[in-house]
């Protein structure tokens, strides 16, 4: 199944944070916060035409941004372009 965002929206897959600190301490799942970065999976036609955000870009977004969506057993976020804080290069 494919998903094409409408308006000025993007579909993101969260990038999971490391489960271990630099000193080797393992962080349990219940102590971790949801990641605030993601990989762009799909963009709307309007965003594609602007050329600012492309499929495959790694982005940072606000803590409570987006709407969670489950497709084919995978978790994604759909959010407005203005909820994206920046692109990681």
pLDDT by residue (tens digit) across 2-18? Answer: 889 999 999 999 987 76
Asked if residue 8 lies in contact with residue 57, where contact means CB atoms within 8 angstroms, the answer is no
Which of left, alpha, beta for 7 (phi over 0: left; psi -120 to 50: alpha)? left
Number of domains in the chain: 1
Asked if residue 45 lies in contact with residue 9, where contact means CB atoms within 8 angstroms, the answer is no
**Which tens digit of pLDDT belongs to each residue from 23-32?**
777 766 555 5
Here the CATH number for the domain that contains residue 18 is: 2.30.33.40
82 part of a folded domain? yes
4 part of a folded domain? no
Q: What pLDDT does 1 receive?
A: 74
Domain that holds residue 18: 9-88
The dihedral of CA 5, 12, 8, 68: what is its sign? positive
**Which tens digit of pLDDT belongs to each residue from 19-62?**
666 777 776 655 556 668 999 999 999 998 988 899 999 999 98
């Amino acid at each position: 199944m494919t998903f094409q965002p409408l308006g000025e929206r993007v579909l993101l897959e969260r990038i999971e944070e490391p489960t271990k600190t630099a000193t080797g301490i393992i962080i349990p799942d219940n102590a971790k916060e949801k990641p605030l970065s993601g990989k762009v999976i799909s963009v709307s036609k309007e965003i594609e035409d602007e050329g600012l955000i492309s499929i495959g870009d790694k982005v940072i977004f606000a803590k409570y941004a987006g709407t969670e969506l489950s497709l084919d057993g995978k978790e994604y976020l759909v959010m407005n372009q203005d909820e994206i804080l920046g692109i990681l290069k």
